[in-house]
Amino acid sequence: MKTSTFHLMTTRETPADAEIASHQLMLRSGMIRKLTAGIYTWTPLGWRVLKKVERIVREEMDRAGYLELLMPAVQPAELWKETGRWDDFGDQLLKINDRAGREYVFGPTHEEVITDLARTELRSYKQLPVTFYQIQTKFRDEIRPRFGVMRAREFLMKDAYSFHIDESCLDKTYREMYDVYSRIFTRAGLEFRAVRADSGAIGGSQSHEFHVLADSGEDQIAFSTGSDFAANVELAEAVAPAAGRPEPAEEMKQMDTPDATTIDDLVRQFDQEIEKTVKTLVVEASDEIDAAFIALLVRGDHVLNEFKAVKLPQVASPLRFAEEEEIREVMGAGPGSLGPVNCPVPCIVDRTVAKMADFSAGANIDGKHYFGINWGRDAEPGEVADLRNVVEGDASPDGQGEIQLARGVEVGHIFQLGTKYSESMNAVVLGEDGRSHTMPMGCYGIGVSRIMAAAIEQNHDEHGICWPEPLAPFQLALLPMNAKKSHRVREAAESLYRDLLEAGVEVLLDDRNIRPGVMFNDMELIGIPHRVVIGERGLDEGELEYRARTASENQRIPLEGAVEAILAKLG
């Protein structure tokens, strides 16, 4: 390809509404153009990259024996009413009407369509297991599309669905898919973690999210330095400190703390270590216990995990924090002066709190705190539970290594659906036993367009994108210096260009009549991994200059046998 005939449209200025690196660079390099909120055109340059991602996904899916098909983007409402998702899916579901007023949805996902196909096509256990997949445009009417194609409304997704005779058959495909996904992201050159996700309401189901590690990620994940443990922060278990509770060293004393209503105040005004403070949160209790409210205690620097709290049988669902008046009524003091000593409502303490000694907390008297509190002697811990978010440095729940936190971009999700859809849509096959079996299903998604954004988040510098080789729009940029004036350069470039094409290299020859600096900047912006410069100077020496996108130094390669030398660089 030559730049003179390839529509290359880079801009120097960053569009005002692009917040994160990938969005800015995709716009500046001219890979996408926004049509309207959350909806983008893929330009020839961007489309080349997207196709690379697509190809990796497709090759690995095919290799695993999964079957590609293509389902309609527009689907009849009846199917969605059948599973109840016409109402349940929420406002993200784009509903449309045809000329006769019939209702349709633009598919945000395809469980209904594939299950409809399966119930008519699949009759016997002998046809199972089977996995279908497609790579297709989806539409989800996001509340707040942002970050370009990272959270777009229209996006390209690979979705796969598997059908099984029983759970163990599903489990086998699920595990296999886990490996396929790992291969896909590895091949794409991405640093990622497979994260155990919430199994949700569907009992016994398994679910993993695949996250590309990037600071701009919308999800925070916790992973171990010593094992492959990884989980969403909301779900990661916070284990108790290994060490036992220290013996009391201080007497408990009541202190006047009129101006301390937050942990921060307490730490600052009384020179307390934050690790020696406890905060008390009052939430509504469930019917399980004989009290209207219940107190949850976490260490001053820890954060209550609401997912964990609401799972406790004593806590009302949904979680509701007590209002200030309610707190005064039951506790006898306002928020900011609460603690476990003489606590009038039941307490549940976090595992870490249970192992604390000589700590401070509110006295349940306005303007007063107790310092030097010890469990057993001054207050009863009551029930101990995991109440908090994990923090860096916590022991990994599997006992191997420490917890580290990172932000991630969710690029894949695999899920054991069970019979949720097959049951409501009556997708059954005859088993070996001659009876009908409702097919357990799995579903597996990959955000194809999102991978592209995630890859840029992970691979860029101040000059632009540094594509992982397998995703780059071109492998090599061929840059002739001052070709307009120098026919030697022009001819050498043309001839090398033809030879490289012949050798199967995806090469972009910059034959625009522009300054070298512009060429360099453009090629770096769009992130071509390798570049070769041809100039009068080099030709005099019988040499070309080579440089990798991420390198800072040029290398010389002899003109003689240049194609072979370049091929060796491309790896």
Partner RNA sequence: CGGGGCGUGGCGCAGUCUGGUAGCGCACUGCAAUGGGGUUGCAGGGGUCGGAGGUUCGAAUCCUCUCGCCCCGACCA
> Which residues bind to RNA, rule: CB under 7 A?
10-17, 19, 36-38, 143-147, 261-263, 279-283, 303-304, 306, 321-322, 324, 327, 335-338, 362, 389, 463, 481-482, 484-485, 513-518, 520-522, 524-525, 533-538, 545, 547, 554
Least Å distance between CB 156 and RNA?
18
Contact 515, 485 (CB under 8 A): no
Q: State the chain's maximal CA–CA distance in angstroms.
A: 93
Contact 152, 182 (CB under 8 A): no
User: Which residue, 108 or 335, has its beta carbon nearer to RNA?
Assistant: 335
Least Å distance between CB 71 and RNA?
27
DSSP percent split of the chain into helix, strand, coil, nearest 5: 30, 30, 40
Give the DSSP letter string of 351-420. Answer: HHHHT--SEEEEEEETTEEEEEE-BTTTB---EEE--B---TTPBPTTSSSBEEEEEEEEEEEEEEEETH
User: Which residue, 174 or 371, has its beta carbon nearer to RNA?
Assistant: 371
User: Which residue, 102 or 484, has its beta carbon nearer to RNA?
Assistant: 484
Least Å distance between CB 558 and RNA?
14
Least Å distance between CB 271 and RNA?
17
Determine the 3-state secondary structure of 538 from DSSP.
Answer: helix
Query: Which residues are within 8 A (CB) of 260 and not within 5 positions of it... i.e. 6 or more apart?
Result: 266, 269, 270, 336, 369
CA-angle at 531, arms to 527 and 535, nearest 5°: 140
d(Cα 443, Cα 50) in Å, to the nearest integer? 22
Least Å distance between CB 20 and RNA?
9
User: Which residue, 381 or 480, has its beta carbon nearer to RNA?
Assistant: 480
Residue located via tokens 């959270």: 151
- Please give the C-alpha separations between residue 386 and each of 239, 245, 298, 358, in angstroms, as whole numbers: 7, 17, 9, 21
User: Which residue, 377 or 484, has its beta carbon nearer to RNA?
Assistant: 484
User: Which residue, 14 or 97, has its beta carbon nearer to RNA?
Assistant: 14
User: Which residue, 187 or 512, has its beta carbon nearer to RNA?
Assistant: 512
Burial class (CB in 10 A: 0-12, 13-18, 19+), 178: middle
User: Which residue, 97 or 262, has its beta carbon nearer to RNA?
Assistant: 262
CA-angle at 570, arms to 566 and 571, nearest 5°: 125
User: Which residue, 75 or 257, has its beta carbon nearer to RNA?
Assistant: 257
Least Å distance between CB 170 and RNA?
31
Q: How many angstroms separate the first and last alpha carbons of the chain?
A: 21
User: Which residue, 35 or 67, has its beta carbon nearer to RNA?
Assistant: 35
> b or e along 8-46 (b: 16 or more beta carbons within 10 Å of the residue's beta carbon)?
bebeeeeeeebebbbbbbbbbbbbbebeeebebebbebb
Least Å distance between CB 571 and RNA?
21
Contact 419, 439 (CB under 8 A): yes
Tokens for 453? Answer: 């954004």
User: Which residue, 1 or 539, has its beta carbon nearer to RNA?
Assistant: 539
Determine the 3-state secondary structure of 76 from DSSP.
Answer: strand
d(Cα 487, Cα 494) in Å, to the nearest integer? 10
Least Å distance between CB 338 and RNA?
5
d(Cα 76, Cα 19) in Å, to the nearest integer? 37
Least Å distance between CB 111 and RNA?
23
**Helices 562-570 and 487-502: angle between axes, nearest 10 degrees:** 60
Tokens for 290? Answer: 């004989």
Least Å distance between CB 530 and RNA?
13
Least Å distance between CB 234 and RNA?
9
d(Cα 228, Cα 136) in Å, to the nearest integer? 32
User: Which residue, 180 or 477, has its beta carbon nearer to RNA?
Assistant: 477
Least Å distance between CB 438 and RNA?
34
Least Å distance between CB 553 and RNA?
10
